[in-house]
Every structure is written in C-alpha cells, then in structure tokens.
Amino acid sequence: MSARIDITLMVNGERVSRSVEARRHLIDFLRLDLGLTGSHAGCEHGVCGACTVRVDGEIVRGCLVLAASLDGAEVTTIEGLTDSAEVADLQDAFVACNAAQCGFCSPGMVMAAADILRHHPTATREEIREHLSGNYCRCTGYQAIVDAVEQTLATRREDRR
C-alpha cells in the first residue's frame, strides 16, 4: 500500500505532477490531492455517476480509474468544463428548469449531459433518459434534467441553422 507512482498529466488544462499511491482512485486524487471538490464520491463502485469526469475526451467514473494509470492523460472536471464555458448554456438550462435539488449529482450529471451534447446532438427524450441512466439523482425525479438537456439540444440545433 505504500508503493508510489509518479504521474504527470493535464488537469483542466494545467500540468500537474504528483507522486500517488498505487491504490489512489482518480476521484480521491482530484478531491484530496488537487482540491477539485466539484466531483463527488457517491457510491465508490461505479454505479451512481456522481464522480463522472472526462479523461482523454470520454466520460469515465472517477471511482473506477486509478490515478496511477493516468500519466500523460488529459482530465477535465466540472471546474474545467465550467471555466471553458463549453456548457454554459446547459448549466443555464439546469438553473432555468430547476434540474437540480441537493446538487450532489449535478456535476456528474452535467458531465454526462455534456457528452450527449457532443456526441448525440439529435438525441430524443428517450435517448437522453437512456444516456443519463448511469447517473443517479435521488431528488428531482429526472424530468427537469431531461427537460434541460432537451432544451439545450434544441437551442443548439436552432443556432446551427
């Protein structure tokens, strides 16, 4: 448990070098070592999606990825996604639709929804629900979240015309 591994990676566009325990999960690396507390540990076995972050362009579970495996990787968390304004419209739609209550799932939910915006610009309500089914929300009943994603998709399609 004391074996440490040196890694250098890009996190939210900033170069980061750390020596990590081999067992250190990405979510703990982000929260404890880098102070990026926007991502949350909800179940720590890959079901709830609260720790969803982007690694090399794809969303992953921060609790299922070992930090030691990320030497040279590019990681984006909710903090970086927000700073880049990539999903500012989606975040505004979350606020307008009341698509968050306690907010503990919200950063992971926004990361997963951002993935829909990138890869599935014509997703239907049903496909949105399917895509978000790896992200547990105990508060909202999901409908407002689906509304927010659907509205953002529609607005973006409209803008592209």
User: How many alpha carbons lie under 13 Å from residue 45 in its C-beta half-sphere?
Assistant: 0
Q: Does residue 66 interact with another protein by CB under 8 A?
A: no
Q: Which is nearer to another protein, 126 or 159 (CB)?
A: 126
Tokens linked to 126: 């049903």
Query: E strands of 12-157, at which residues?
Result: 14-21, 52-55, 58-61, 74-76
Among 64-72, 78-86, 116-124, 153-161, the segment contacting another protein (CB under 8 A): 78-86
Among 46-54, 67-75, 114-122, 150-158, the segment contacting another protein (CB under 8 A): 46-54
Least distance in angstroms from the C-beta of 14 to another protein: 16
Candidate residues 68, 110, 116, 153; the one interacting with another protein per rule CB under 8 A: 110
How many CB atoms lie under 10 A from the CB of residue 156?
A: 13
How many CB atoms lie under 10 A from the CB of residue 138?
A: 11
Candidate residues 11, 76, 114, 135; the one interacting with another protein per rule CB under 8 A: 135
Task: Name the nearest CA neighbour of 28 among 59, 1, 68, 82.
Answer: 68
User: For residue 77, with 0-12 CB atoms within 10 Å meaning exposed, 13-18 middle and 19 or more buried, which class applies?
Assistant: buried
Candidate residues 56, 69, 102, 124; the one interacting with another protein per rule CB under 8 A: 102
Number of residues that bind another protein (CB under 8 A): 57
Q: Which is nearer to another protein, 139 or 154 (CB)?
A: 139
Angle at 78 between CA 67 and CA 93, to 5 degrees: 155
Residues contributing to the site for another protein (CB under 8 A): 1-2, 21, 23, 31-32, 36-45, 47-48, 50, 77-79, 82, 91, 94-96, 98-107, 110, 126, 128-130, 132-146
